[in-house]
Structures are given as C-alpha cells and as structure tokens.
Amino acid sequence: CFFVTISKSPINISIHCPFLSLSKPSFISPIQSIASTTSPNTYPMAPIAVGDVLPDGTLSYFDADDKLQQVSVHSLAAGKKVIIFGVPGAFTPTCSLKHVPGFIEKAGELKSKGVDEIICISVNDPFVMKAWAKTYPENKDVKFLADGSATYTHALGLELNLSDKGLGTRSRRFALLVDDLKVKAANVESGGEFTVSSADDILKAL
C-alpha cells in the first residue's frame, strides 16, 4: 500500500510507502512527463483533403532492368497532374479485380484529360508489387509503387488497421487527383467499400 501526492508545476511526485524508505521525492517537469509516454507516431495524422499540399515521401519499385529503385513522390508529381490511388493490399480481390483494372482500362481517357502520371500505392514490399504488376501484361501507364513500412500512408493520414485479419497496418482505399502538388479531389472509402475511388469517379472530377 502506498500514497502519491502531486503538486503543481514543476510536477512534484512524492511516494510514501510504509514498507519502503523513499524519502527523496521525484521531480518531473511537464515536458519530461509527456515525452516519456508519447512517441512522435502516437497520434494519427488527419486524412489528406482537398486543398492540402501533397506530402513528400519515398517509395520503392523495380525498374525495367529489374533493379530496385527509390523515388520521391514530389519528383513524380511536381508541376504535373497526377492520380495517386491506394489499395489495402496487393492480390486482394477488390483491388485486383476492380480497382486496378479500372485505372488500366481508363488510362487513355484519363491522359487525354491532362493526367501525366497514374500511381498505385500499397503497403506491400517492392517484390510483391513487382509480382502483382506482372499480372497485368496489358498495363502501360499505371506505376506500382511500394510503401512497405506504411510511412507514406501515415503521412497521408490514411492508415487502416487490419490486425484483426492478420494483415497489420495497411492503407485505406482511396484515389487522389493532384495538380502541381495540390490536392483537387480526395476520394477516400469507408471500411471495405469501393464506391468513390474508381477511375470513373476521378474522371468526373477532371
């Protein structure tokens, strides 16, 4: 059994226990107290929205010579009109059968409306993304980029916790229309839905 008394700033915590000799109180400043319990990644980012500037980040991919490369998002998007769409996982049913095929099929139409780049992001490693991209031999325009540790997904504020399904941290399904780094459309799905982030939905926003 022990008693704790706390006084105001600086926080003075004194522990009194009849069984232990703790005569020296501990002094903890408010900043130290917060720093000791909070990490920089504790609080989720607000989801990216229309009017926001697209954050920069580094993503990975295998080039035509099968060499692993890294690329910054801003290097792909600065001064351009780009579509960035994210999926919960490579090879998953909705992603593989509907979301990605839609952007591949509509790529010509999207580019005719001024789109320079179409980028698919998933929280998978680049080896998985390379294998997934190969299942679309007709694809000429969609870039498959890996966000293996979900770092960029976190910067977008679009993490999806699928730990209960054994998948860990993934990405929410989304599609962004970005013009010279400024977000013009942010179509983010709720739960496992696929209702607002298709290629057709982005075409409506162009």
Q: Known catalytic residues?
A: 95
Structure tokens that stand for 190 in this block: 């709720």
The tally of CA atoms less than 13 A away on the side-chain side of residue 14 is 7
